[in-house]
Structure formats: structure tokens, C-alpha cells
Chains A and B, each alone.
Chain A
Amino acid sequence: MKPKFYDILISSTDEVFETMSFIDVTPQTLIEENIDIENVEITSIIALGGEIAGMLAIHTSRAFAHECAQFISGEETPNLPDQVLIDTIGEISNMIAGTFKRNVSAHVDLFEISLPSVITSQGHTLSFRGAKEDFPRLLIPFAIEEKTCFHLELLYHKR
């Protein structure tokens, strides 16, 4: 059985990529076991407050951020400064959170979303360990032609 919010999260993500970038990203199998995700270079976090309290995050690479920036802007640029890559992933996470908020409004009372906070590095490792029952975590890899390009994470307080 799919966890709560799974379908809405997937459709919200699809809507953003289809409308803004035309990049065809496909959800892969939900990760439920303990896992380390290595070589993450950009993490964008949006805080969720209210009926759903928690966070939505995108974990990805500079290469994927670069691809998104090119598709969204419609300009082929071989080198983009980090600031543009940060801005692009921050805006994508903002649009996914906003779309998720709209799409989930039929099931959940109003909640607020923050502006994105973006962390960059030359490759950080994210360790996901034993989500607690009161704090469900949805960790979904997305791929382009079966190659994982980002992980989408929803972590919230089950009230």
C-alpha cells in the first residue's frame, strides 16, 4: 500500500517538471530501508508548518541543476555559476511544495510553506535511518531514462 501523500507528491512533482522544464522525470521505487545517499551536491529544504508540519527537500547534483536551468531558461550555457544552480533547485523545490500544498488542500487544512533554504557542497552524504511512526518519511528517487537524477523527501509530523 502506498503511504499517505505519495500520489499527490508524485503528481505535484510531475506537474512542475512537465510545465516548467519539459524534462521527463520518472519516480522510482520508494526507499523504505536505511540508506546512505552519497555525493549529493545541492539540497533545497522547504519547511512546512500547520496541519502538516515538517519539511520537503530535494537532494541532487550540480549536473542535474545545470540541466534544469538550461531547460527552464531555454538557453544552452556550458558553464553556469553556482548561484544560478542554487536558484534553480530552490525554485523547483518551491514550486513542488506550492503545488503539493494546493493539491493536498482537499485532504488537509491549510498549512504554510517557507522560502527555500539551499545547502551546497562538493559532495555530502545523507544518512537516512529508521523513520519514527509519528514522523513518516517519504524518500522517492526520480530518474531520467532510469538514471537517478534527484531524491525527493517529505518528512512530516503525524498528528
Chain B
Amino acid sequence: MSLHILIVDDSVIIRQVVKKVIKQAGIDAEKIYEAADGLEALDIIKKEHLDLVLSDINMPRMDGLQMLMHLRQIESKENLPVIVISTEGSEETVREAMELGATGYVLKPFSPEKLVDQLRPLGLVSAPPPQSEVDLSNPDAF
């Protein structure tokens, strides 16, 4: 199954880390799109067929919660899995994200394992990667 995945974060370095975790987890990503805020993300969401969205909350122009709200109003995107990755960890924010239709929630800072744990129930992870394969401190692992 070749997947189309969208990563939404205003930080380039975080988008890079998420991309590498996806690859290391053995997820068969045919295409990975990137957006720096909710507005950019919605443009891609409307135009492209996507299998998964990984999104930050605190971003300029349009935040991740607003993006999620708009996304769920698009008929064909009702069931698109959206994993939120954010520093925002208050019960209120997590509850709001889940009520808006988030599929999972990962707090920053995150280990690769934490993110993979959220992706596994979606059936997207081909195999449980050994710890060493997702060690971000090892440049050769990528």
C-alpha cells in the first residue's frame, strides 16, 4: 500500500524529523507533502488524495485545530486519519482536538517510538522497528 502523507508544521526541522520517523517505521510512503501552516495544508488536502495527516497545532496564519475543523467539513475527508503533534498538552486542548476529529495525539518533545505507537493502530506500520533503527542521534540510521 503506497501512502500519500501530509506533514503540517511551521518548523522545517520538525517536518524533517517526522519524515525520517515515517521512513524508519517502514511506512510505505509514495509521496510526502509538507505544509507550514493550516492554510497551506488545506490547499493540499483539497487537491490531493491523502491517507494520513500529521499536524502541529501552534502555527501562524491558521492553527492546527482550525485546520482540523475545516478538514472535517469536507465530505470526502471525514475519515482521513489526523495525528496531532504538539507542545500543547492541556486536557482542554487535547479534548478539543479529539472532539474535532483527531485520530491521535503526540506531545512534543517526542521520541520516534511515541509517534510510531500512534501510527500502528492505523495499520500503516509494516513492522515494529528495532530501537536502533529509529535512533535520531545516529546519522547513519537514515
Contact = CB atoms under 8 A, between A and B. Distances in A.
Interface of A: 15-16, 19-22, 69-76, 83-84, 87-88, 90-91, 94-95, 97-99, 101-102, 105, 110, 113, 115
Contact of A95 (B108, B138, B142): B108
Contact of B13 (A84, A99, A113): A84
A115 B58 contact: yes
B14 interface: yes
Given A15-B109, A21-B137, A99-B87, 6 more contacts: A20-B110, A74-B141, A87-B11, A91-B11, A95-B109, A110-B92
Interface residues of B, number: 28
Given A87-B11, A115-B60, A73 B87 contact: no
Contacts of A15: 109
A27 B100 CA distance: 40
Contacts of B139: 70, 74-76
A102 B84 CA distance: 17
A19 B110 CA distance: 6
Interface of B: 10-14, 16-17, 20, 58-60, 86-90, 92, 107-111, 136-139, 141-142
Given A20-B109, A87-B13, A88-B13, A74 B87 contact: no
B13 A94 contact: no
Nearest to B20: A74
A142 B28 CA distance: 40
A37 B10 CA distance: 30
B17 A98 contact: no
Contacts of B59: 115
Nearest to A16: B109
Output the residue of B10, B20, B136 with the most chain A CB within 10 A. B136
15 contacts: A70-B139, A72-B17, A73-B20, A74-B17, A87-B12, A88-B13, A91-B11, A91-B14, A94-B87, A95-B109, A98-B87, A101-B89, A110-B90, A110-B92, A115-B10
